[in-house]
Chains A and B, each alone.
Chain A
């Protein structure tokens, strides 16, 4: 760390935090850095004459660019325009958060609003209001999530294992892409097989150039696409090599092949491409979303996406990303709500970014949660990654919010990874694509990431990919291969996905497949209308969500904390020898032990045997010239009162109270209960030396000295998080043994084998 002179050193420390890798931009509309409103944004307006839109957001029809034109022709509902455009934006914003105004009514009004009007309404809402409105306006009632499954080697075996793992984690969609473009067919087939292992029924896609993606989809090796990018300025659109008409055509083309499609757009993409027209991020995104609704696509991947980090660099940027997601669902679109690109190096910002979405729910909370490790993610690191999946699972549990994921058991994962790799090996063998040996499989099953595998390389994947394409292999061939080799359930799961294509049910808005059934905004519409409505986790789902790994129960604590009536391995035993009386020795220090100390509880939270702690205290007292005496106190388990009672029995007036968990106090007889001399409140950090020093200090007090108090160093550990579950359960054992009428008892120490 730098140690800069004449500077508060806290700034040096702040400089070293991960947050400081993030860059923060100053607003500058001229340069395109305007979040909600730019002086160059038009005022909302619309003109209609003779059944034609002749003006849109201040621009007359002859000057319409391709986006204006498409919105005028296909988005604006002329039956609603006059009513909707005349409404006060603040009044509309209030309707968005009003549980008494139905979603359908707001969607009707949105069809009569121009981009500038829509942006004005959502731009006026606070982050909290946007979150609430999003919970009400999102399309499907049941929330879902999407995974990225990729790896740095394009290794098909790992893709299959990781796809099966992602399915087990609960993801509804799997998106893959390649390091090497020519590996697309291999990637798609591997993910197809992996996604069929376990519960199956997951939509999958291979992100690549449109023509290739359509071919892969046609072969049944992809079931959805989300590469239909849309931009908010004409020049960005053209630079992206498309127009609203070409994208509308492409969207229809996907549907004609039975493939679910969603568009992609997000704040700051125009800024990244250099064609922002000095307009605000939100206004340009409103144009994108109106175009998407107009195209008739069912949904959008929206909320920054590639532009998310740039948006997050601006003041109010995260509120903007939420606002554009709200626009998407208000326009009736399925929303895969961003939260994919990692917007920050700060874990705090990452956690804060996801929280509103967890609370509100979303059709797909992340449009790409990195189910693999960061370095294996060929889309680049996601907001959440393989490293952080358990953090996400705990956030779901904390807020009792369904983020779409489910904890997985260790043995179950190994079964699935083994099954997936063996299934793919069988398919490769059956279709003459490659030979897989045991070593490759076992390296993949246990690997957390591709650094650890001894499997296919990217170059070998290319050969497999070319053969799949050359042999015109389809998902039907894969079904047959799986079935022939005994992977019957996987064959059934894959065939289920192909059967869905015939009916086209998953082409409808917000469709996903759960337990073999399509659920979408049609048959599972979000019906949130205030408390006790909308989505609530069913009991079985909540049981799954809260069943995270490593929970602590009373039984598990008691089993591991050496609890019970047995005497643990120790050199000393505590034996009662009658009622304790008032001491008279001027240098006596009484140690008052708690009801369960050495009786039912034998170890402190720091892991010391209570006998060792007692020995350290006594040795310290003796070293300091005092006389230790041990008394069992059963009338209380509270540290302060243990200490005070001990002090009052002590001939010197000084005593030490100690609980079995190790919390101890040095007290004096004429003090108030909670005004002690010294306290070890953080028992997990107290060493035997600390206890010994405490004993010595107690003895020195009996000589009228004022020794330097023992300080147990605390380095800011979250001790409550680490220990309080155990402490609460252990302390309950102490309080169970409390008998308010019990008198103090003298304790003798017997040394075994002495």
Chain B
């Protein structure tokens, strides 16, 4: 998170692009005001720059929670966990969570551990471990094709 202290009501920061543009930046550190057509033409905006950061997602989680949307806030927090997970691993993990893909609960638990270890993805790991237990109880590890 940025060093700035949060004001009393996160709802006052929304929409962030208008009310608190300084609170967000691109992964390469560009500010919203740096994203101009000139900058694009000059090649100063990279493809990695059109992406959201964990900080922005945590800020949106705060806003959602302040609006009484706890479940949405938790989704944003899980999303913040996943920002730094590479695309291939992200898609592979989704695939692994589909019914009949993992051969057993251990495969899911191993993935959870990996995400926790390499990316600090605590909340996503919890979700995968919960899935592992339920899949085991419901027999969802059987191959479907």
Q: 20 pairs across A/B with beta carbons < 8 Å?
A: A66-B134, A108-B68, A211-B94, A243-B131, A250-B94, A255-B52, A255-B79, A257-B52, A258-B52, A296-B71, A296-B74, A484-B41, A499-B17, A503-B16, A503-B52, A504-B76, A508-B14, A508-B64, A518-B17, A522-B67
State whether the Cβ of A521 lies closer than 8 Å to any Cβ in chain B. yes
Q: Which residues of A contact B (CB under 8 A)?
A: 65-66, 69-70, 73-75, 104, 107-108, 210-211, 214-215, 218-220, 234, 238, 241-243, 245-246, 248-258, 293-298, 332, 472, 474-476, 479-480, 483-484, 488, 491-492, 495, 498-505, 507-509, 517-518, 520-523
- The answer for the CA separation of A297 and B72 in the assembled complex, in Å, is 6
- Knowing A215-B87, A243-B99, A246-B97, the reply to whether A505 touches B37 (Cβ < 8 A) is no
| Chain B nearest Cβ from A54, distance in angstroms | 15
B interface SS class: helix
Which residue from B46, B81, B135 sits with its C-beta under 8 Å from A252? B81
Interface size on B, residues (CB 8 A): 64
A238 in contact with B16 (CB, 8 Å): no
Which residues between 61 and 114 of chain B lie within 8 Å of chain A, taking CB atoms?
A: 63-64, 67-69, 71-76, 78-83, 85, 87, 90-91, 93-94, 97-99
B134 in contact with A245 (CB, 8 Å): yes
A504 in contact with B32 (CB, 8 Å): no
- The answer for the CA separation of A249 and B75 in the assembled complex, in Å, is 9
| Chain A nearest Cβ from B39, distance in angstroms | 9
A255 in contact with B24 (CB, 8 Å): no
Query: Lowest 9 A-B CB distances belong to which pairs?
Result: A296-B75, A255-B79, A245-B131, A258-B52, A256-B82, A246-B97, A252-B78, A503-B17, A505-B15
Residue of B with least CB distance to A297: B75
- Knowing A245-B134, A502-B32, the reply to whether A495 touches B51 (Cβ < 8 A) is no
- The answer for the CA separation of A65 and B71 in the assembled complex, in Å, is 21
B131 in contact with A220 (CB, 8 Å): no
Residue of A with least CB distance to B80: A256
Which residue from B16, B72, B90, B140 sits with its C-beta under 8 Å from A509? B72
B50 in contact with A498 (CB, 8 Å): yes
B67 in contact with A503 (CB, 8 Å): no
| Chain A nearest Cβ from B130, distance in angstroms | 7
Which of A484, A492, A508 has the most chain B CB within a 10 Å cutoff? Answer: A508
| Chain B nearest Cβ from A334, distance in angstroms | 10
Residue of B with least CB distance to A248: B127
- The answer for the CA separation of A249 and B59 in the assembled complex, in Å, is 20
- Knowing A256-B80, A480-B41, A523-B15, the reply to whether A332 touches B35 (Cβ < 8 A) is no
Which residue from A249, A258, A504 sits with its C-beta under 8 Å from B93? A249
B24 in contact with A502 (CB, 8 Å): yes
B51 in contact with A501 (CB, 8 Å): yes
Which residue from B36, B50, B90, B97 sits with its C-beta under 8 Å from A501? B50
- Knowing A253-B79, A297-B75, A474-B47, the reply to whether A508 touches B41 (Cβ < 8 A) is no
Give every chain A residue within 8 A of B21 (Cβ-Cβ): 503
| Chain A nearest Cβ from B43, distance in angstroms | 8
